[in-house]
């Protein structure tokens, strides 16, 4: 990390796909064996590089889904319409295939339990992935059921288009069952199952006011999702009185406003 160029180069490594886990219709998790993986912090990402037979290459970045404590590195990939790399990762790649990657990358959008809380996570769609790494890490550090008082209080507000598009839905339910210091609230913006009593609109200021800790609690806030959603959430949090410096964001996809 030194400015004089003495940091070691982040090397490309040849990972092996160990397992492929379907998550939703458009997302799946790649479980990887990465030789000499140096470890990571929850929230970091990797660069993935694909090489065609004629030498043509394409690179993209993907958030790490697994906790640092997990034995395997996993990435959850959403298939983007018209994407070049994500359709390959989400359809073509299978167990036993090799995948070049390097990382971990990113030293700001990271959280570990030593940073304390309370922890407020706000996700839109596949923006859940780096936040899930944080929840998995938080769970792995204190894994016993009677240890709630040692846990950093955490709340996740998670916006999806429909119930079938909620990534990690069952795992989130399991985590909240065994962990009274964790609250998960869903909002379903397009389609709700019959009898749905949760939120059914885009995340707005009133929803954040209801779900978030007040600014006086000084929550550590991480927001990840499509650009318009992150812009709106971060702006609303600032309007509610949260310190901008305590709000860490990752945006992806089209801007939706300026083209």
Partner 1 sequence: MPPVSRGFRGRRQPDAAAARLPPGQYETRDFPVLSAGPTPRSPLTAWSFTLHGANGRTARWTWDEFIALPRQTTTTDIHCVTKWSKFGTVWEGISVDTLLEAGATKGVEPSPYVLASCDGGYTTNLPLADVTGGKAWIAFMYDGAPLPPEHGGPARLLVPHLYFWKSAKWVRELRLMENDAPGFWESLGYHNYGDPWREQRYAGDE
Q: Work out whether 105 is an interface residue with partner 1 (CB under 8 A).
A: yes
* Among 65-73, 102-110, 115-123, 205-213, the segment contacting partner 1 (CB under 8 A): 102-110
Residue number, 192 or 227, with CB nearest to partner 1 = 227
Minimal distance, residue 2 CB to partner 1, in Å: 7
Asked if 257 interacts with partner 1 (CB under 8 A), we say yes
| All residues at 6 or more sequence positions from 49 whose CB lies less than 8 Å from its CB, including other chains | 12, 57, 58, 59, 100, 101, 102
Judged by CB, which is closer to partner 1: 193, or 254? Answer: 254
Of the candidates 23, 24, 109, 203, which one interacts with partner 1 according to CB under 8 A? 109
Write out the DSSP string of the chain: --TTS-SPP---EEEEEEEEEEEETTEEEEEEE-TT-----TT-EEEEEEE-TTS-EEEEEEEB-S-TTSSSEEEEEEPPTT-SSHHIIIII--TT-EEEEEEEE-SSS---GGG---EEEEEEGGGHHHHHHHHHHHHHHS-SGGGGGGSPPEEEEEEESSGGG-TTHHHHHHHHHT-TTEEEEEEESS---TT--SB-S---HHHHHHHSPPGGG--EEEEEEEHHHHHHHHHHHHHTT--GGGEEEEEES--SS--
* Contacting residue, 19, 51, 115, 210, with partner 1 by CB under 8 A: 51
Give which of 89, 104, 87 is closest to 36, Cα–Cα.
104
Decide: is 98 part of the binding site for partner 1 (CB under 8 A).
yes
Binding test (CB under 8 A) with partner 1, winner from 5, 35, 39, 195: 5
Q: Which is nearer to partner 1, 114 or 258 (CB)?
A: 258
Determine the size of the site formed for partner 1 (CB under 8 A).
Answer: 56
**Least gap, CB of 55 to partner 1 (angstroms):** 6
Task: Determine if 115 is a binding residue for partner 1 (CB under 8 A).
Answer: no
User: Which is closer to partner 1, CB of 168 or CB of 252?
Assistant: 252
Q: Which of residues 196-215 bind partner 1 (CB under 8 A)?
A: none
2 binds partner 1 (CB under 8 A): yes
Q: How far is CA 234 from CA 111, 123, 142, 157, 211, in A?
A: 18, 12, 30, 13, 14
Tell me how far, at minimum, the Cβ of 214 lies from partner 1, in Å. 18
Q: Which of 35, 107, 143, 168 binds partner 1 (CB under 8 A)?
A: 107
Binding positions for partner 1, rule: CB under 8 A:
1-5, 7-10, 12, 14, 47, 49-53, 55-61, 84, 88, 92-93, 97-100, 105-109, 227, 231, 234-235, 237-238, 244-245, 247-249, 251-255, 257-259
């Amino acid at each position: 990390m030194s400015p004089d160029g003495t940091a070691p180069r982040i090397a490309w490594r040849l990972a092996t796909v160990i397992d492929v886990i379907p998550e939703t219709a458009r997302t799946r998790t790649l479980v990887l064996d990465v030789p000499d993986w140096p470890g990571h912090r929850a929230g970091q990402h990797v660069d993935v590089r694909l090489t065609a037979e004629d030498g043509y290459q394409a690179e993209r970045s993907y958030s790490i889904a697994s906790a640092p404590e997990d034995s395997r590195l996993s990435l959850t990939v959403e298939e983007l319409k018209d994407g070049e790399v994500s359709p390959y990762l989400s359809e073509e790649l299978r167990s036993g295939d090799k995948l070049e990657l390097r990382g971990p990358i990113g030293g700001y959008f990271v959280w570990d339990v030593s940073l304390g809380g309370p922890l407020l996570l706000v996700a839109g769609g596949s923006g859940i992935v780096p936040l899930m790494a944080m929840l998995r890490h938080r769970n792995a550090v204190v894994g016993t059921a009677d240890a709630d008082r040692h846990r950093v209080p955490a709340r996740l507000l998670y916006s999806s288009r429909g119930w079938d598009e909620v990534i990690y839905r069952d795992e989130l339910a399991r985590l909240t069952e065994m962990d009274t210091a964790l609250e998960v609230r869903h909002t379903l913006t397009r389609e709700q199952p019959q009898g749905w009593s949760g939120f059914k609109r885009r995340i707005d200021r009133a929803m954040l006011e209801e779900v978030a800790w007040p600014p006086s609690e000084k929550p550590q806030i991480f927001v990840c999702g499509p650009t318009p959603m992150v812009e709106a959430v971060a702006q609303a949090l600032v309007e509610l009185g949260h310190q901008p410096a305590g709000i860490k964001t990752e945006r992806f996809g089209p801007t939706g406003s300026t083209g």
